Structure 1
């Protein structure tokens, strides 16, 4: 509570009540992606045989119940990879290979609304399919995520055949536009040292700078009357003789 007036730099609001952290005063930043960046990506629609890819923890807490439901809906679908996986042992290599050979990558709410999986998909140029109604995204005040991501409401995703039919309906031309856009924005999610123009570090500082005018406005508003408060009126004190 003592820190709540400060600006927080967070990847997610999932563990904070709104009176402590919220999008009005705080900054959402990307997770560092786990898979390697896909340099010199010359893949295309036909060279990515997997339609839809997800690999990760399937059983999550209450906020991530949708993962288990989607697993049951998609596990037998053709050209869909939906399986359990971790970053241990050979997990990162398999995830890297799987995302790079897939057209679309599922980003589903887990214990909190977001995860690093979204940024792994961006680094792999695998068009993210976001199923997380409460997700907040980095730099969304300047980036239109609908240009390179697909958003599906939780309630729609759980309808039988809705998700897979929707994704199958996206053709080569539309997918290629989103794939090209992913390659344009991928640097915004790269943490580098030393920082370079247009990387995640620079984007975060710019996001902080965009918050400053609103913070300054609030500060000025709270000080409207602080410089000319009415003087305190003191009551006169009677002497003991007044009571005699």
Structure 2
């Protein structure tokens, strides 16, 4: 992925996937194939600045994706790839912040579950 110019982000079966984070963190231009995707920080980030969006019905047409991506010239791709290296409050930085909050929430839940482990009688 790190050496790719474009990386496919196909809709999955769970909203908690890290696919988009992995793509953005490796500075690959995301090609999002999903008609109803909810993106983090979409109220702050204009994903169309650094992503290619494709309707699922178009993506399955023979040759469509290849023709679309080959039609993006070097200058346009470079503008989309602006987030390298990462800068404060860019897409990569904001996604890292979201991951930190998520990790914090997971740790909190795990620690809460361990509260009463000593209260369980042993046989």
Query: Could you state the TM-score of these two structures normalised by the residue count of structure 1?
Result: 0.37
1:153 to 55, 72, 76: 55
CA contact (8 A) 1:107 1:131 kept: yes
Structure 1 alignment gaps of length 5 or more: 1-98, 191-198, 205-244
Aligned length: 98
2:98 to 200, 224, 241: 200
2:68 to 140, 154, 166: 166
Measured after TM superposition, the shift of residue 130 of structure 1 is: 0.2
Structure 2 alignment gaps of length 5 or more: 103-123
Measured after TM superposition, the shift of residue 188 of structure 1 is: 0.5
Measured after TM superposition, the shift of residue 146 of structure 1 is: 0.2
Measured after TM superposition, the shift of residue 185 of structure 1 is: 2.1
| Structure with max Cα Rg | 1
1:185 to 91, 100, 122: 91
Which structure: greater helix fraction? 2
2:7 match: secondary structure: strand
Considering only aligned residues, what root-mean-square deviation do their CA atoms show, in Å?
2.2
CA contact (8 A) 1:114 1:132 kept: no
Structure-2 change in CA distance of 1:156 and 1:203 (3 Å):
same
Distance 2:16 2:49 in 1: 19
1:137 to 29, 39, 54: 39
Structure-2 change in CA distance of 1:102 and 1:153 (3 Å):
same
CA contact (8 A) 2:45 2:91 kept: no
